[in-house]
Structure 1
Amino acid sequence: MNNAGWAPTRALTIKAVAERIGRSRASIYEMMDKKSPRFDATFPKPFKIGIKTLFVESEIETYLRAKIAQSRPATAN
């Protein structure tokens, strides 16, 4: 089996996600709640292992990069 280019998938707890994006856990739950005015349809969907709510690290990174790109104006050269 060839594992060249393979990178492990890392799962983050909601606490780790909160620290990574600089928001509270409650704020993250609001971002996932379709009934909340703070709902963000682009926020990565969590998955469960047992009672733990987990997120895929690469999806959180992609979300952050997209938000950073949205907040910065495009520069023309």
Structure 2
Amino acid sequence: MENLNENTQQNVLIPSMLQIPRMLPLKQVVHYTGLSSTTIYDMLDTRSNRYDPSFPVQVKLSKGRVAWVEREIAEWLESKMAERVH
């Protein structure tokens, strides 16, 4: 019985240590950043005059489906706020 409890406790601990990143679809990135989808894709395009290498690159989840890591978008927004002149 003691081994069963040890295994159960280990299984309970594993999920709490696993950090699954929250993925944001383009619509939410548009909402959180206040940027249009066109601007976002221009910021990712190295040939665009709006290219921004600091903007997070999307993750391809499947054919025709991309999303951005929420933490990376939040960090990008925080870096923009930190650049403000007071």
TM-score (normalizing by structure 2): 0.76
User: Which residue identity lines up with residue 58 of structure 1 in the other structure?
Assistant: R
- Asked whether 1:36 is paired with 2:56, we answer no
- Asked whether 1:63 is paired with 2:37, we answer no
User: 5+ residue gaps in structure 2?
Assistant: 1-9
CA–CA separation in structure 1 for the residues paired with 2:59 and 2:19: 20
CA–CA separation in structure 2 for the residues paired with 1:58 and 1:72: 24
Please identify the structure whose Cα radius of gyration is greater.
2
- The structure with the greater share of residues assigned to helix is 2
User: 5+ residue gaps in structure 1?
Assistant: none
> What is the CA RMSD across the aligned residues, in angstroms?
1.5
| Identity %, equivalent residues | 32
**Which residue does 2:60 correspond to in 1?**
48
CA–CA separation in structure 1 for the residues paired with 2:47 and 2:27: 22
CA–CA separation in structure 2 for the residues paired with 1:71 and 1:40: 17
